[in-house]
Every structure is written in structure tokens, then in C-alpha cells.
């Protein structure tokens, strides 16, 4: 039985992952699995840099604009659906492509998740209610109290996670719902995958990366981002819309900032996001990193050395 390979393209936003993924998919005659956690939503097209119609027509893509912002959709849901889709695609071709800048979603497919018990719905409701009343400080204090070791680990290794309400609510609900520290459940179960990952990272000098981000934001504005965000104002509190490029323009439409200031905030927050992406992806084991201008033939040759 021939080995199966999942070529996975990682890197910060605006680095050129989409164009490389299409070139590789055309070379290997395969499909593309997208794992950008905001490109799933059909109401968010411009601000999430969804591939254009020509790009989407050139290669079959999966998990792009396949959900609504009103749907409840988790990284666990994505893992199940992506693995099922890959099983189907590998029947046609032993090489497939995955691309995206959402590190947790990439990891969910490559490595899977630890096995956590089901949590009672009333526990979730109580934690959500308390969060609405007391904010992120409540979740941080609860985790510190219920799983001190894990709280300290996050403080050192991944402090931005302590500011992420969805992740923090999950940690606390596991602690309360099971009566055990969240960290007790980490590393207990190893997920088996029927493919070998080939991980390609794209990077650039920081100033180049930041300049590409600034240019992309200007392009989004010119393509109609303001109208897209304006149409979403009635739903601005939905979780999917707590996203760079949308939050800043909601403030503009509410009269809290000028348009010029909002656009500069989008650029700055996107640059910060790209920095966090790089920090996450640089920890990826066995990734092969290339400058974003590297000739595609060189990347193809590197992949074929592994496959053949």
C-alpha cells in the first residue's frame, strides 16, 4: 500500500501561502484543504482574504465559505470533518495539500487532540454567565486556582492564550466539570494518522512581511471591506466577528474612531497577529522553511525528495 502524504503550508498572513498551495496542487494534481478559521464563514469574504474566483476555480478547495457566522463550529468539528475529507481524497491521490494560518486548526489535523471527557451543559452555562459578569480576570483567577501548574506554563510559554476567552472558558469548564486539573488530560492519548505530513513554512524579513500586510489591508479597503463590515453590524457580537479587520471598523461605524485611525489599527493588529503566528509555527517539528520568494521548483524538488 502506497504511503499517503499531506503537504501542509504554514506561515504568517499575507506571505503567499495561497499562491504556493495552488501551484503545488496543480503540480501534484490534488485538492486543497483550507484551515483558516475565518475563511470558513461565507459572510466574511474580503476581510479574511478568501482566494479569488480564479484561484478557487483553478483547484478544488474544501472548507472555504462552507459555514455561516451563525453556526456553532469548533476546532474539534473541523478536525473530524477534515480527517473524513482527507480519507476520501486519499482514495484518489496519495498526495494532498493543506494550507492555512490558524495554528490550532493545523495541529488538530496533523496531531489531533487529547481525549477530554464530556462536560455538562449547566457547567458551560454557569461559566459563560460568570464570564459575562466578571470578564477575563475571572477565568484567569479560576484557572490559577484550579490548575496552577498549567496557568504558570501558559504565563511563560503562551501568555496570549490567557487573554483568549474561548480557550480560557474551555480550560475552566474541564477543571470544574471533571474536578481535575485541565493538565491531567493532556498527553494521555496519541491520535493515529494514516498520512505522513510534509510541512512547508514560508517566511520573510520582518519589514517585508509588515509591508505586505499593509498593502493587503489597502487592497481589502479598495475591494469593499467597509461595505462588508457595515452589513455585519447587526451581528457584531458574534464570536466569528471578533476578528482583526472587523472589530476596528465596527468602532468606526459606531463613531468611536476615524476611518483613517481604524485602518491603521487594522494594519497594526494584523502585524501583531502575524508575529504570533510565526511564534506558533516556528515550534512546528520537522517544518522546512523557505523564503517567500524561493523558486517553486526548489520547493517541489524538496517535497519530491521526501515522497520518492
33: enclosing H helix or E strand: strand 32-34
Residue 159, annotated ligand binder? Answer: no
14 known member of a binding site: yes
- 291 beta partners: 203
> Is 294 known as a binding-site position?
no
The continuous run of DSSP H or E covering 106 comes out as helix 103-110
Query: Which residue from 195, 180, 164 is spatially nearest to 280, judged by alpha carbons?
Result: 164
Find out whether 204 and 271 touch, Cβ atoms under 8 Å. Answer: no
Q: Are 220 and 245 in contact (CB under 8 A)?
A: yes
Three-class secondary structure of residue 112 per DSSP: coil
What is the CA 21 to chain-centroid distance, rounded? 16
Give the three-class secondary structure for 96. Answer: strand
CA-to-CA distance for 262 and 166, rounded, in angstroms? 25
76 annotated as ligand-binding:
no
**Does 51 count as an annotated binding residue?**
no
**Would you say 18 is a known binding-site residue?**
yes
Does the annotation flag 13 for ligand binding? yes
Residue partners of 132: CB distance under 8 A and separation at least 6: none
Element (H, E) at 5: strand 5-10
The answer to whether 224 is a known ligand-binding residue is no
CA distances from 201 to 36, 72, 92 (A): 15, 30, 26
Residue 9 near residue 35, CB atoms below 8 Å: no
Binding residues are 11-18
Binding residues for ATP are 11-18
Binding residues for substrate are 13-18
Amino acid at each position: 500500500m502506497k504511503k499517503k502524504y499531506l503537504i501542509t503550508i504554514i506561515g504568517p498572513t499575507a506571505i503567499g501561502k495561497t499562491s504556493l498551495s495552488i501551484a503545488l496542487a496543480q503540480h501534484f494534481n490534488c485538492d486543497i484543504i483550507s484551515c483558516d478559521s475565518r475563511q470558513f464563514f461565507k459572510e466574511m469574504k474580503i476581510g479574511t482574504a478568501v482566494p479569488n474566483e480564479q484561484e478557487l476555480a483553478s483547484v478544488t478547495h474544501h472548507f472555504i465559505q462552507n459555514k455561516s457566522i451563525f453556526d456553532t463550529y469548533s476546532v474539534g468539528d473541523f478536525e473530524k470533518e477534515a480527517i473524513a475529507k482527507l480519507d476520501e481524497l486519499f482514495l484518489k491521490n496519495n498526495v494532498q495539500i493543506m494550507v492555512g494560518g490558524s495554528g490550532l486548526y493545523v495541529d488538530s489535523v496533523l496531531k489531533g487532540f487529547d481525549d477530554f471527557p464530556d462536560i455538562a451543559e449547566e457547567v458551560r452555562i454557569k461559566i459563560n454567565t460568570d464570564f459575562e459578569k466578571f470578564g477575563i480576570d475571572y477565568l484567569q483567577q479560576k484557572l490559577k486556582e484550579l490548575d496552577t501548574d498549567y496557568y504558570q506554563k501558559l504565563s511563560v510559554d503562551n501568555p496570549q492564550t490567557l487573554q483568549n476567552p474561548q480557550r480560557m472558558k474551555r480550560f475552566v469548564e474541564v477543571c470544574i466539570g471533571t474536578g481535575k486539573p485541565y493538565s491531567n488530560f493532556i498527553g494521555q492519548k496519541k491520535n493515529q494518522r494514516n498520512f505522513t505530513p510534509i510541512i512547508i513554512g514560508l517566511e520573510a524579513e520582518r519589514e517585508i512581511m509588515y509591508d505586505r500586510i499593509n498593502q493587503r489591508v489597502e487592497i481589502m479597503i479598495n475591494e469593499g471591506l467597509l461595505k462588508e463590515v457595515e452589513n455585519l453590524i447587526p451581528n457584531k457580537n458574534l464570536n466569528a466577528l471578533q476578528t482583526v479587520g472587523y472589530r476596528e471598523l465596527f468602532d468606526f461605524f459606531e463613531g468611536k474612531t476615524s476611518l483613517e485611525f481604524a485602518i491603521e489599527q487594522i494594519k497594526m493588529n494584523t502585524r501583531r497577529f502575524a508575529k504570533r503566528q510565526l511564534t506558533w509555527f516556528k515550534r512546528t517539528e520537522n517544518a522546512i522553511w523557505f523564503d517567500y520568494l524561493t523558486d517553486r521548483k526548489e520547493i517541489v524538488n524538496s517535497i519530491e525528495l521526501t515522497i520518492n
